[in-house]
Amino acid sequence: MSRGCNGRDSYTLRLANQALVPPFVVVGDQQRAESLLVNYELEPGAVGQMTDFKESNRRLEWSLKKIVGGSEHTLRAKLTCSQESHGNITKEAGPVSMTFTIPMYNPSRLQVKYLQIAKKTKTSNPYRWVRYVTQANSYVARI
């Protein structure tokens, strides 16, 4: 993260995936209150990625449809502020949060071997399958 002399900030978010393949990742970054204009650029050849700045809650969102294991993706965001701030930029910037889902992966290796339905009714017809899903709903990192 770097700071310009005329009220401009520059962020670089780098997301690296070592082995797993989450199908949908959203990375969010809360911006300061005085930020006016946000310009962002993805790496050349980025496929399945979207960026959006939510003006209502000052949040920059970066969505990746799929990440292949062993890959790395980069987002560069430039913020132009309405006024010069003399505080520490790392204290003014909000946390980076990440939400993702990994289907058919269970880090605890807990498995359902047997399941019995206690109250069977004529109207319910249960399916015979179990879906394992790993979710990260509150992964937050401070810059």
Integer Cα distance of 28 and 139 in angstroms: 10
Whether 34 contacts 93, CB under 8 Å: no
- Looking at CATH, the fold of the domain delimited by 2-141 is given as Immunoglobulin-like (2.60.40)
Facing residues of 111 across strands? none
Q: Where are the domains of the chain?
A: 2-141
**pLDDT (tens digit per residue) in 110-120:** 888 888 888 88
Question: What is the pTM (predicted TM-score) of this model?
Answer: 0.61
Integer Cα distance of 32 and 26 in angstroms: 20
**pLDDT (tens digit per residue) in 19-76:** 555 555 566 666 655 555 777 888 888 888 888 877 777 777 888 887 777 888 888 8
For residue 92, give every residue at least 6 positions away whose Cβ sits within 8 Å of its Cβ, in sequence order, or none.
Answer: 32, 85
